[in-house]
Each structure stands twice: as structure tokens, then as C-alpha cells.
Structure 1
Amino acid sequence: MTVYVRSLETAVPKTMLIQSEARDVFAAQPGLTRLGSRLVGTCFDAAAIDTRFTAVGEMTNDFQAEDPQFYDAATGLLLNPSTKVRNEIFGREATKLFVAAARAAVEACPELDLLDITHLVTVSCTGFFNPGPDYKIVRELGLDPAVQRYHLGFMGCYAAFPALRAAKSFCEADPNAVVLVVCAELCSLHVRTSNDPDTIMGSALFADGAAAAVVTARPGMEDKALLQLDHFETVLTPVGEDSMAWNIGDNGFEMVLGNYVPHIIDDHIVGALQPLLAREPELAALPYSAIRHWAIHPGGRSILDKVESRLGLTEEQLVPAREILRNYGNMSSATVLFVIKRILEQAPEPGDERICSMAFGPGLTVETALFTKLRQAPRPAPEEHNGQERLAAEAPVA
């Protein structure tokens, strides 16, 4: 049975962070050592990011909060709220992103009724609340109260793939199934000033965003579908457990993103791809660059550099991943869906339009997937596109 992605939509908060301005704020914090200040400058400048989005409106000098919790624009000081404060904001602001992305994905399928959705899979690793985002989406969109709901929590940047894999399994088990998958992350809630290199790297990379997809195998959908879901595989590298982790601290979640991660990926990416490509021996016999599209999770510039070099890919094949990193930063689980959407927006080309996709997370876990691009997704002008996303993300939450 062939399973399709019928729609794929994204949403971001309204507040844009300019990387150079954020760098200057973090570098000016009074608690930094001379080395810490230099690390801030180096990490922010080397991240290959121009802009990111955050749900924390007060993180810019344009926003004057009466009772600031994260950033006091009057003094230029970064504050350090408790995990409880950060998580309360997650419950409020993440709900807006979950609902905005979900609504956009459903509205992109006018032939489907809201009551057609049989399964809902939500994903996030940047906060917790219950009733959770799955409940909020059902209530806000008016889905069938009996829809089957599943939440994948705290898996990290690769979690979109287990969600899509679950959706594919649901559709293979029930040909009438329509699955709504929604990933939303508020990584910026957990940034803080520090002299620790891992914390500085996280502050330079992470951002907020959401993506949603409608997945189904219903007959007749192939004429409208954007993407065919072919195969998924997962691999744990033999090293790296201590190099990438995501823990809960007293003042937010604490990211461990060691500078050895790109080297681990460099050493093990070929082995991680073997189980996936073995599913189609004709692909396994080709050079990697023969697969036209590569949707790589842009965990950082150095990771993309290692993937491009080790697999012998062209600069053009990494353009979608680098564009998403430059314009949106690392939004954890939602990011690879932004990259796939960018590939779908590219004009179709003659021949086989296969997509090989990879994402990396704690463990070190490597999730891989093979897709087939079926048609071009509509892409509004950049100004209109961003405006729509921001407006949607501001939708009121009951």
C-alpha cells in the first residue's frame, strides 16, 4: 500500500531575532569571562544563521515588558527564569503554533472534512502540559472527539521521522485512515547566558517553529499528494551518548551539543544510510549524489559540511538545508519538515525525484527516510509567506 503526504505546512512566531543583534546581547552579559565572550562571538558568527524566530516577544529591544522574565531591554540583561516559568510559557505559546500549523495543513486539503481525520500525532521536546497539544488541536480545530491521539515527547531533533513512520503504519493498517502529524518546538525558551560552550552553542543555534502534515493512503489521493512515503530506518551510533543530550534543569532544559558531534556523524553516516538504501538495491549501487534531493536536518553548519563532504554531495543538493538554517535556525523536530517543504517548493525536474532525508538526535540517533516527490508545492512570495505564518501563529487560543 502506498502512503502519501497530502499537505505540508509550517508556522513560526511573530518575533524575529537578528543573529548579529542577538550575538551582541549575549556577548555583553556581565557574568561572562573573556573566553566566554569570545566564544559567544565565534559561535554566533560561525552558525551560518541570519534570522531566527522566537515565541518570547521580549527577546528584542523593540519590546518593552513591564515585568520582564527573559530579557530586560532597559538594562540589556538576560534574565534566568525557572523551569516552571519557562514551561508555563510553553503551554501558552506552543499551543498557538501547534494549532496554527495543524489548521494550515488541514485547510490545504479542501477535499477532506475535519471529521475525516482518524489519527493525530503531536511531537515536541521543549515543554510539557496536560491536557496536551493533541487535546488542544482537537478542541481548536473541531476534530472528532474520538480521534486517536498520540504524543511523542522529548525525543529531540529526529522526532518528525518516528511520527511520520507511525502515520505510515496507521495508514497501512487502515486504508481509510487520515493522520495529522504536528511538530512544534519552542527551543528559545531554554536559552541562557553562560560560559559553558555547549550552552553558548545552543543559544546561537536554536529557534522556534512548527510544521504539520496530512498523511493518508485513501484511494484517489495520489493525484493531489505532494510526497510518497517510501521507507524509514533508525540507527544508533556506537558512540555519542554523552555528546548530545537534553536534560531538565532548575532553570530550563539543558542542551548538551558537544563539538565532537560533527565528527561522529562524519564517521558513521555511511553506515547509518546502509539499512535505508538496502531497501532499494538499485539506489545502494549508485553514488550518493545520484539521489537528486537531500533533506538533511541542519543541526548546525558543521554537520551539513560533514554530510556534504563525506557523501560527496554537490553544493546545490544542500541548498535547502542551508537556506532553512540561515533563515530559521535549528527548530529541533520541526526543522527537517521545513527542509522537505523547501524541496517540494522547487520546480519539478525531469526524471526520478527521490528524496533522501536524515535527522540526528540524542543517543546519538540517526533517523533516515526515503521519499518520492510527486508534485510541486505552492510557494507564496517570501513577504506574503512570512506574514501568513506569523498571523497564523498569533491566532487566539481558547
Structure 2
Amino acid sequence: MKQISIKPAILGIGTAVPVYRLEQREVASRLAEALQDYPDSARWARRIFHQCGVVTRFTCEPNLLEPPKQCRYLIRESMEEVPSTEERMQLYKKESVPLALEAAGQALADSGTEVAEITHLLTVSCTGQFLPGLDSALIDQLGLKRDILRYPFQFQGCAAGLKAICMAKDLVSASPQAKVLIVCVELCTLHIQPSARREDLFGASFFGDGSSACVVADAGIGKLQEQAVFTLGDYRSVLLPDTAGEMVWEIGNHGFNLYLSPHIPRHINQYIPAEVEHLLGGSHMPELWAIHPGGRGIVDAVQAMYGLTDEQVGPSRTVLSNFGNLSSATLLFVLRELRERLKAGQSAEAEGVALAFGPGLTAELLRISYIPSGAQAPLKPDQLYV
């Protein structure tokens, strides 16, 4: 019986955003003008836009840059002027594919992987749907094999990007020849609501549009890495108790309706320490932290919980500031930012944890290891006997 050393790893990452940039100050000003008949809401909106940690983000919808009277996504006298869910889904279908193709192409190039080598395709999105879907479009336009194994992750929220990475880890562990392409695309701004309600204004304050992708494959012992990689270790997925109403995402007649409870950071403080302890199994606290910036309060909660330095949460805060919350696509933006910082600092090997949260409340946790270029994957690999 022959023993094969397998170490699943993220070998390459790609990201893409639309061409239209939303400057937070300008958006807040336009929104306040649209809410002039609702002064309390306008004051609250200015404050939350200022405090949410976002400076810029991107959108696929140029109408969101128009003055308030021309912007169909802001509060109107008649809902007949507001884009319907059908119209928003048509725009999603048109704009999601080019972004997904750009991010996927970058990930393939970054990993040095040929299109023909990809054996599995995982597509992730919660902000739009169409059939034949994103997976079909990517096969046709990227030139992927037509018998590739496809796994769409639909409508699972912000945590789904990390969940897909964990699934890819299992696929590679089970089959060392597997090369998995993950593509996440989210057009969150399509669901901005024409409302003066605080819940809707909060959701409008920090979500952005974008796509991310990665290639997960074996980086087993003895393989020198031409590119810095993140190897993937143990993971944990847990549904937190008594939190089902804290993050809600439902389909409405004018886009998808989002509710985010202000108590989410408190629930993270209450439940996540035990989950991280379970994941680490008594080992030392890791140096690297890739936290999905679902909002400024989530990053603040994790930083305070573990006494993390500003440098340790820097990648998450930078992504939130420059792109906003991109739902499932965000975690790979964070990992790319973290990798580039480690490369620039000529960092040695380091251990870390990736965290993401979604409706449920669901928590996804994954142990990662940074391996610089020119190094070998670490010891303690997954083992496969053939």
C-alpha cells in the first residue's frame, strides 16, 4: 500500500469589481437629499454611513450615481418607478458573468493552472439567479471541460465563500488529482431599497459589488511553491442557537429584502470563542486572521475578543474600506490582501484562522497556513493510502 501526502491549498486568487465607483461621502449626501422629508432618517443615515468603515465601493448599476430625483433606487413617490425584482435579475444576469470571468481568469493565471486542468467548478452567489446558470456560462466562455463536476452554492449568504473553500478542501483530500475552481460573484447594490426605514438604510450603507475566485489543489510535501499559498487545514461549520431572526434575506417584489440585527456582534462574542477553541484543539492562538468584514462591528468584536493588533485585522478593515461588504466574495478579497502583505514583508510560514458569518446565524471557521514562495508545504499532511 502506497502512502500519498496531500495538502490542499489555495494556489491562486483573482478579484474583480465593476467600473462604477461609489464614494461613501457622495452617496450619503445624495441619500440625505432624497430623505429631506424624513429628517430623523436622514440624520441617522449620515451617521451610519460615516461610521460603517467604508470609504469606497463599486456597483454595476450606473443609475445609483445619478442625482436623487433620477435615481430609481432611492425613495420615490410611486413604487412603479422602482426597479422590480425581474429587472434587477436581468441586470444581474448581464453583469455577473463578465465579473466572474475576470476573477476566474486571474485566479487561473495566478495559480499557473491551465483551463483544461480544472476538474471541479464551485459557483457561489446569493444576490441573483438565472438558468442556465453562472456555472454554464463559465464553462462556455472560459472553455472548461463540458463534463466538469459542478456544484452551485445559491442563496447561502456571506459565509458561502468560505464554505465553498472548505468543500474544495474535501474534494482535493479525497482525490489528489483534483483541481477546483471556485468563483463567487455578488451584486449587492442591486438590492438597495427605496426606503426611510433604518433597517434598509443600514443595509444600503456598506454593501458593494464584486467577484472573487480561487484555485484549490494539492500542494503536497516535496512540492516547491512558485507562488505563496495558503494551505487548508481543519474546518468547522456551526449553526448558532437562537439566532435565526438576526440575519434575514428574503425575495421581495423590488429586489431582495435584507435585515441585519444590531446584536450580531454580541452573538459572535457569546458563541465564537468556544467554536475557535474547538477548531484549534488546544493549540496556540494563531498569528494570522482572515475575518470576513460583514460590518465594522464584526471586525471590532473579533479584534477585542482575542486582543488582536490593528495589523492583524488590517486586511479585513482595508477590504471593508475599499470595497465594502461583498457578501460571499469578500473572504477571498481578504485572503488576497493578507497574502500580498505577507509577501511584501517577506514573511516566513505562519498559522492562521479564517472566519465568516452568514444567515442562520452560520459561522464558518477554517485553519490556514501561509507558505511563502520557494518553500515546501508543511508537515502533518492529510494522508491517502492507495
Q: Same fold (TM over 0.5)?
A: yes
Displacement of 1:255 in angstroms is 0.7
Corresponding residue to 1:231 among 220, 226, 234: 234
Q: Does 1:362 align with 2:355?
A: no
The secondary structure found in structure 1 opposite 2:232 is strand
Give CA deviations for 1:168-223 in whole Å, capped at 9, x if unaligned: 11112211111100111000000123222221111001000111001111667552
Provide the rounded CA distance (Å) in 2 between the counterparts of 1:337 and 1:79. Answer: 36
TM-score, scaled relative to structure 2: 0.88
83-92 or 340-349, which deviates more: 340-349
Corresponding residue to 1:303 among 298, 301, 306: 298
Provide the rounded CA distance (Å) in 1 between the counterparts of 2:72 and 2:339. Answer: 39
Aligned position for 1:282: 283
Aligned position for 1:264: 267
Change (3 A) 1:376 1:221: closer
Identity %: 35
Displacement of 1:79 in angstroms is 5.5
Q: Does 1:53 align with 2:45?
A: no
Aligned position for 1:170: 171
Aligned residues: 363
The secondary structure found in structure 1 opposite 2:213 is strand
Matches within 5 A, 1:107-256: 107-110=109-112, 112-217=113-218, 222-225=224-227, 226-256=229-259
Provide the rounded CA distance (Å) in 2 between the counterparts of 1:374 and 1:331. Answer: 26
Provide the rounded CA distance (Å) in 2 between the counterparts of 1:71 and 1:36. Answer: 13
Change (3 A) 1:242 1:210: same
Corresponding residue to 2:87 among 81, 85, 94: 85
- Equivalent pair of 2:34/2:74 in contact (CA under 8 Å): no
> 5+ residue gaps in structure 1?
378-398
Displacement of 1:14 in angstroms is 0.6
The secondary structure found in structure 2 opposite 1:143 is coil
The secondary structure found in structure 1 opposite 2:34 is coil
Provide the rounded CA distance (Å) in 2 between the counterparts of 1:151 and 1:139. Answer: 16
Provide the rounded CA distance (Å) in 2 between the counterparts of 1:128 and 1:146. Answer: 22
308-317 or 121-130, which deviates more: 308-317
Change (3 A) 1:170 1:120: same
Provide the rounded CA distance (Å) in 2 between the counterparts of 1:331 and 1:100. Answer: 16
Provide the rounded CA distance (Å) in 1 between the counterparts of 2:106 and 2:44. Answer: 39
Provide the rounded CA distance (Å) in 2 between the counterparts of 1:221 and 1:352. Answer: 15
Displacement of 1:160 in angstroms is 1.1
Displacement of 1:357 in angstroms is 1.1
Corresponding residue to 1:101 among 89, 100, 103: 103
Displacement of 1:319 in angstroms is 0.8
Provide the rounded CA distance (Å) in 2 between the counterparts of 1:107 and 1:328. Answer: 23
225-234 or 315-324, which deviates more: 225-234
- Equivalent pair of 2:99/2:185 in contact (CA under 8 Å): yes
- Equivalent pair of 1:348/1:376 in contact (CA under 8 Å): no
Q: For residue 266 of structure 2, what is the amino acid of its counterpart?
A: H
Provide the rounded CA distance (Å) in 2 between the counterparts of 1:258 and 1:350. Answer: 38
Displacement of 1:237 in angstroms is 1.6
TM-score, scaled relative to structure 1: 0.86
- Equivalent pair of 2:59/2:209 in contact (CA under 8 Å): yes
Change (3 A) 1:263 1:101: same
Provide the rounded CA distance (Å) in 2 between the counterparts of 1:191 and 1:358. Answer: 26
206-215 or 257-266, which deviates more: 257-266
Q: Which runs of 4+ in 1 moved over 3 A?
A: 68-72, 218-222, 348-352
The secondary structure found in structure 1 opposite 2:294 is coil
Q: For residue 329 of structure 1, what is the amino acid of its counterpart?
A: G
Aligned position for 2:384: none
> 5+ residue gaps in structure 2?
1-5, 375-386
CA RMSD of aligned residues (A): 2.5
- Equivalent pair of 2:348/2:371 in contact (CA under 8 Å): no
Aligned position for 2:337: 342
